[in-house]
Structure 1
Amino acid sequence: MEAPSKTSFFDITSEQGLLRASIAVTLFIATIGIGFGLASGSFSIVFDGVYSLVDASMSGLSLVVVKLITAHVTSAQMSRKLRERFSMGFWHLEPMVLALNGILLSGVAIYALINAVSSLLEGGRDLEFGLALIYAVLTVIACVTIAIVEARANRTLNSDFVRMDVKGWVMSASITAALLIAFCVGLAIQGTRWAWISPYIDPAVLGLVCLVIIPLPLSVVRQALAEIFLVTPVDLKQHVDTVAQAFVSRHGLQSYRAYVAKVGRSREIELYFIVPTSMPARTIAEWDALRNEIGDAVGGEGPDRWITVVFTGDPEWAE
């Protein structure tokens, strides 16, 4: 009975299993990164470890949100009190976590950039290139491997959290690859007339890496903020307008109002159809049949679609 439990805990075919595996690998890399960084005297390696710790903490928070969303939409393992307090679900937490993740990662990089510039102005720092090279090689291999595994799995899962995590691994691999190249150069120039450059290699490469990675999470932050502020997604609005207009024409209705938003993985759609006052009365079953028709036409039925369809003869109810 224990083996299946362990397998499911790190099941890379599920969103939660992928995030758990990512957190475990990240914590391992962060631990050896900080250790190797302190031992070799490299602040860039220490930064890499701290960056991984931040990433791991945000992956842990993402995992909590994923569990809440899944439990709510499947009515599993959630207390009645919690469900009553969050009757609209937990989708709104997803963009909040993504925005916080991106802001923290950029913030850590900005702080490291300031330290790198300060170190350059102070004459750099000496470090043990042999230890630094061992860390860089191991970390690049680990980062590339987990990024490939997550990217392949996410072709099916299509999770924003996993997508953000893949970007984090790609950034970590890029950081460490740049460090690896710099450390190889530093080791190669030892004992040569270029040896005076050695103290500047670590802060210089750290500064360059930070300049590259600072803007990378900003696109995710921008998208997350758009979802937090309920900015209407253009493509979804166009689709709903097309479906609603055709429905109005087909059934002789007066007009409609459509309100749509994308919040995390959820799509929230409200449709109000204005019914002519002269239209004959219908039974509840007939109105429900019309709701089913518009729901099928909109498409995307599933636990992450929240759709409301209202028929009214008073336009004020639709405004």
Structure 2
Amino acid sequence: MTHHQELEQQALKLTILGNAGMVVLGVVFALISSSEAILFDGVFSGIHLAISLLSLRVANLLYQPEDQEFPFGYAMFEPLLNLGKGLVIALVALLALFSSVESILNGGRPIEAGVAIWYAIAASAGCLILAWKQYRYAQTSHSPILDVDAKNWLIDGLISGAVALAFGLILILQHSDLGHLVPYADPALVILLVFFVLPIPIQTVRENWAQLMGQAPEDALRQQVNDIVGNVLKPLPHEDYHLRPLMTGRLIYVQVYVKVNEQQAKAYGVAHVDKMRSQLYQRLQDAFPYLAMDLIVTCDRSWIHRAIMPAD
């Protein structure tokens, strides 16, 4: 876990530096070109910078042990952070959408397209390189924070690439019979970018909201957990078992109840259960590096339900 933590810290520091550079680049070129599309891109990077600083703090908390204030640790902070990221990005996109619609209704706005193209090319290249590096870090460290970060860089890179293409088109329009449409090009471009970007933060919000609400993980993950537990328990005496898998950020929590009858219970001493618990934990951790697990052996099925609510 220490190696994963180091990789995550390196990646988040890289994101902070990258976003700081993009903010400066975006604001400077937005002032020179009078482009709201570039300003939108710069504001986007500014939000990423603020969130990246918070992400660095949350990433440190995730590796802290439980304490009196948070007896189950800090895992819940990760989906909460990613939910916040998605909401803020969606809100900024909607504000940019309303601003651009208002601009079109008021006759558009002139821009310096030639200057803007150079910004868009530089920004797109930088963002796509960082998206690739963060994706590699995310795959190695199994970090959902970095996975969301890589998606954000990809969004930013695609936005900047689209801006470069659009400003090239604007330069062509300026020397054609359609030159009167040029003032509308920048707000129209922002509107297109918003509709392209918006589904990604909405998906991020949905996924992390489901985790905060304790919703079951996707079917493929549940089946994988069930297969591993079933293979471990197959040679052991038991009547049935019950699983409750839960995903919170990077953490997979698996609650396993093994139901045995009174005759089978004689084979389960404390040492035997601990050995079974160790074997099951190892098999699950091979598939899920960030794992928390409880294994309970009982003759009384009511304890399976009493783990989450009162039961007769």
Structure 2 length normalisation: TM-score?
A: 0.87
**Residue matched to 2:107:** 123
For residues 238 and 12 of structure 1, what CA distance do their matches in structure 2 show? 28
8 Å CA contact 1:232–1:261 kept in 2: the answer is: yes
Q: Which of 52, 75, 93 in structure 2 is aligned with 1:91?
A: 75
8 Å CA contact 1:15–1:159 kept in 2: the answer is: yes
- Structure 1 gaps of 5+ residues are 1-10, 73-81
**Residue matched to 2:46:** 53
Q: Which of 263, 279, 291 in structure 1 is aligned with 2:248?
A: 263
For 1:135-154, what per-residue CA distance to the aligned partner results, in whole angstroms no more than 9, with x for missing partners? 22221221122122222333
3-state SS of paired residue (1:267): strand
**Residue matched to 1:276:** 261
Q: Which of 20, 27, 30 in structure 2 is aligned with 1:27?
A: 20
3-state SS of paired residue (2:67): helix
Q: Which of 224, 237, 241 in structure 2 is aligned with 1:239?
A: 224
For residues 15 and 215 of structure 1, what CA distance do their matches in structure 2 show? 26
**Alignment map for 1:1-319 (pairs within 5 Å):** 14-72=7-65, 83-233=67-217, 234-245=219-230, 250-279=235-264, 280=266, 282-300=268-286, 304-319=290-305
For residues 228 and 155 of structure 2, what CA distance do their matches in structure 1 show? 41
| Cα displacement (A) at 1:203 | 0.8
For residues 283 and 137 of structure 2, what CA distance do their matches in structure 1 show? 30
8 Å CA contact 1:272–1:311 kept in 2: the answer is: yes
Cα RMSD (Å) of the superposition? Answer: 2.4
| Cα displacement (A) at 1:239 | 3.4
8 Å CA contact 2:253–2:293 kept in 1: the answer is: yes
For residues 152 and 268 of structure 2, what CA distance do their matches in structure 1 show? 55
For residues 12 and 278 of structure 1, what CA distance do their matches in structure 2 show? 46
For 1:73-99, what per-residue CA distance to the aligned partner results, in whole angstroms no more than 9, with x for missing partners? xxxxxxxxx733223111111111111
Q: Which amino acid aligns with 1:220?
A: T
- Structure 2 gaps of 5+ residues are 306-312
For residues 12 and 151 of structure 1, what CA distance do their matches in structure 2 show? 15
| Cα displacement (A) at 1:293 | 3.1
For residues 12 and 259 of structure 1, what CA distance do their matches in structure 2 show? 27
For 1:90-126, what per-residue CA distance to the aligned partner results, in whole angstroms no more than 9, with x for missing partners? 1111111111111211111111111111111111011
For 1:266-318, what per-residue CA distance to the aligned partner results, in whole angstroms no more than 9, with x for missing partners? 11011122231234265422222232233344443887211111112222212
Q: Which amino acid aligns with 2:30?
A: G
Structure 1 length normalisation: TM-score?
A: 0.85
For residues 130 and 249 of structure 1, what CA distance do their matches in structure 2 show? 69
For 1:176-235, what per-residue CA distance to the aligned partner results, in whole angstroms no more than 9, with x for missing partners? 112112222222333543321221111111111111111122222222122111222223
3-state SS of paired residue (1:48): helix
Q: Which amino acid aligns with 2:276?
A: L
8 Å CA contact 2:252–2:288 kept in 1: the answer is: no
Give the aligned length: 300
For 1:246-284, what per-residue CA distance to the aligned partner results, in whole angstroms no more than 9, with x for missing partners? 555533223222211011111101112223123426542
For residues 73 and 34 of structure 2, what CA distance do their matches in structure 1 show? 48
